[in-house]
Copies of this chain bind each other. A is one copy, B any other.
Amino acid sequence: MDVELVSIGDELLLGFTIDTNAAHFARQAAAVGIRVVRRATVGDGAAEIAAAVQAGLERTGAVITSGGLGPTADDLTKASIAALFGRGMTLDEGILEALRARWQARWSRELPEANRAQAMIPEGATILANGHGSAPGIWLEDGQGRWVAMLPGVPREFRGMLADVLLPRMIERMGGAGATRVIRSRTLRTTGIAESAVADALAGIARKTLGASLAYLPGWEGVDLRLTVRDLVPAEADARLDAAAARIRAPLAEWIYGEGDEDLAAVVVQALRASGRTVAVAESCTGGMLGMRLTAVSGASHAVMGGVIAYDNAVKVRELGVHEATLAAHGAVSVETAREMAAGVRTRFGVDVGVSITGIAGPGGGTPEKPVGTVCLGLDLGGAVSAQRIVSIGDRQEIRQRSAQAALAKLLRGLRSADSAVR
Interface residues, chain A, CB within 8 Å of chain B?
Answer: 12-20, 22-28, 30, 36-43, 48, 52, 55, 183, 226, 281, 283, 285-292, 294-296, 298, 300-301, 304-312, 314-315, 319, 349, 362-364, 396-397, 400
Contact = CB atoms under 8 A, between A and B. Distances in A.
27 contacts: A13-B37, A14-B27, A14-B30, A15-B22, A16-B27, A17-B23, A18-B20, A19-B23, A37-B48, A38-B40, A38-B52, A39-B42, A40-B41, A55-B55, A281-B288, A287-B294, A288-B289, A289-B292, A291-B311, A292-B400, A300-B311, A305-B311, A306-B308, A306-B315, A307-B308, A307-B309, A309-B309
A15 B30 contact: yes
A312 B307 contact: no
Contacts of A226: 16
Contacts of A30: 14-15
**6 closest Cβ contacts across the A-B interface?**
A288-B288, A287-B295, A15-B26, A288-B291, A15-B23, A15-B27
Contact of A309 (B27, B281, B314): B281
Given A16-B27, A23-B15, A305-B315, A287 B298 contact: no
A349 B183 CA distance: 57
A39 B23 contact: no
Contacts of A295: 285-288, 309, 311
Contact of A306 (B25, B311, B400): B311
Nearest to A286: B292
Contacts of A396: 296, 298
Residue among A20, A37, A281, A291 facing the most chain B CB atoms (10 A cut-off): A291
Contacts of A283: 288, 291
B298 A306 contact: no
Given A23-B15, A301-B312, A315-B306, A296 B39 contact: no
Q: Which of A12, A286, A315, A396 has the most chain B CB atoms closer than 10 A to its own CB?
A: A315
A316 B396 CA distance: 31
Nearest to A312: B305
A298 B16 contact: no
Given A287-B304, A289-B292, A24 B19 contact: no
Contacts of A15: 22-28, 30, 36
A292 B287 contact: yes
Nearest to A13: B36
Nearest to A299: B364
A32 B41 CA distance: 21
A231 to B, nearest CB: 14
Contacts of A400: 292, 296
Contact of A305 (B16, B298, B314): B314
A321 to B, nearest CB: 14
Contacts of A305: 311-312, 314-315
Contacts of A285: 295
A72 B212 CA distance: 20
A40 B37 contact: no
Contacts of A12: 23, 39
A41 B22 contact: yes
A303 to B, nearest CB: 10
Given A37-B43, A305-B315, 8 more contacts: A18-B23, A37-B48, A40-B40, A288-B291, A288-B307, A288-B309, A296-B396, A298-B364
A25 B295 CA distance: 37
B291 A309 contact: yes
A43 B286 CA distance: 40
